[in-house]
Amino acid sequence: MIKHILFAGLVACAATPAFAQQGGTAGPPPSPYAPLQDHPSCTRDELKKLTAAYVDAQKKGSLAGLPLDAKVHYLENGKDVDAAAGMWTRPLAITHDMSFHDDKRCKTFTEVIVTGPVPYVIGTRLYVHNGKIIRIDSLVTRKGDWLFNANAYAKYAAKEDWSPLFKYQLTSPAEMIRGGNAYLDGFADKFTDIPWGTPCARLEGGAYTNAKNDPHASCEVGLPAGVLYITHRDYLIDEEKGVINIFCRFGGRAEAPDSHSFRYIDGKIRAVHTLTPIPGPQANDEGGIERGAIDPNAPRPAAAAPRS
């Protein structure tokens, strides 16, 4: 008897989601967009062709040549936008670009730099399933955004090596996720174990931590003071290049989206690129902070001891 009661309870619980999907009052209305997949289907070659097609589309200012799902979801700077309203509708003269490909999660990330006459640095994610793009998610940074300087971004990005690694240099995806999370957790807990390597350089909007190409340069230049939680983390891992790209939100706020890309070699972080489309201090063409602006990552002096 008890077994029959337990079985009936399980059946009732299992039926609840189906009821909601069939128009029941419990739950939100169905999404108008193509659903994200638990286990999407794609190949690495397919993803590479799509990022090449995206870069070409951005140059033309038209997505017409891309294999878009009928219910593709468009986002720009963390918010839903109409297909005709995104930056992808503007033809741009691209100075530099590079892409990462995750054939397990079926996601790509392409960094696009435009140095003029109106400069931008753009990070675009494509989400793919069965040969179709089901989501386009772009972060568009421009003058006035956090440490922005497209000239410096292009200058230093072009000098870096983000090419495929030798097998003995690779880092496991699990360790890349752990290290990336440790860095982002460090905004709230300054005691996290971040796997920094040497040399290491951080390109943040346009500000660069190794303009002198110092072989002993470190990325341990400090994190902003205070407690800030980084939420909504969405991972993309390019195992061949040793790269993890994380889309996230500062403080969990929809108006504070962010992209962090970490390059691992031999289990250590050796390069970081960040894009944050929120207002902030500006970088100069040499990758420094503009005069008068406070460097948000500069080490803070120790607090003076209280007088007795």
For 73-130, what is each residue's pLDDT tens digit?
999 999 999 999 999 999 999 999 999 999 999 999 999 999 989 999 999 999 999 9
Give the C-alpha separation, 292 to 192, whole Å.
Answer: 31
- Identify the residue with better confidence: 134 or 291: 134
Residue 1's pLDDT is what? 46
Give the C-alpha separation, 44 to 238, whole Å.
Answer: 10
- Can you list the domains of the chain with their CATH numbers? 44-275 (3.10.450.50)
Residue 28's pLDDT is what? 81
Instruction: Please give the share of the chain, as a percent, with pLDDT higher than 90.
Output: 81
**Cβ-contact 101, 138 below 8 angstroms:** no
Residue 294's pLDDT is what? 59
Taking Cα atoms as reference points, which of 269, 126, 133, 297 lies closest to residue 204? 297
Give the global pTM.
0.87
| Res. 189 pLDDT band, cuts 50 70 90 | very high
Structure tokens at 164: 């495929």
Task: Assess whether pLDDT exceeds 80 at residue 251.
Answer: yes
Which among 18-32, 161-175, 279-293 has the top mean pLDDT?
Answer: 161-175
Task: Assess whether pLDDT exceeds 80 at residue 187.
Answer: yes
Distance in angstroms between the alpha carbons of the first and the last residue of the chain: 75
| Res. 295 pLDDT band, cuts 50 70 90 | low
Task: Assess whether pLDDT exceeds 70 at residue 23.
Answer: no
- Identify the residue with better confidence: 43 or 298: 43
| Res. 21 pLDDT band, cuts 50 70 90 | very low
Residue 33's pLDDT is what? 97
**Cβ-contact 100, 128 below 8 angstroms:** no
Question: Which residues, other chains included, contact 236 with Cβ-Cβ below 8 Å and sequence gap of 6+?
Answer: 100, 102, 105, 107, 108, 109, 125, 244, 245, 246, 247
| Res. 20 pLDDT band, cuts 50 70 90 | very low
3-state secondary structure string across the chain: CHHHHHHHHHHHHHHHHHHHHCCCCCCCCCCCCCCCCCCCCCCHHHHHHHHHHHHHHHHHCCCCCCCEEEEEEEEECCEECCHHHCHHHCCCCCCEEEEEEECCCCEEEEEEEECCCCCEEEEEEEEEECCEEEEEEEEEECCCECCECHHHHHHHHHHCCCCCCCHHHCCCHHHHHHHHHHHHHCCCCCCCCCCEEEEEEEEECEEECCCCCCCCCCCCCCCCCCCCCEEEEEEEEECCCCEEEEEEEECCCCCCEEEEEEEEECCEEEEEEEECCCECCCECCCCCECCCCCCCCCCCCCCCCCCC
Instruction: Please give the share of the chain, as a percent, with pLDDT higher than 70.
Output: 86
Residue 95's pLDDT is what? 98
Q: What is the pLDDT of residues 205-250, one digit of tens each?
A: 999 999 999 999 999 887 888 999 999 999 999 999 999 999 999 9
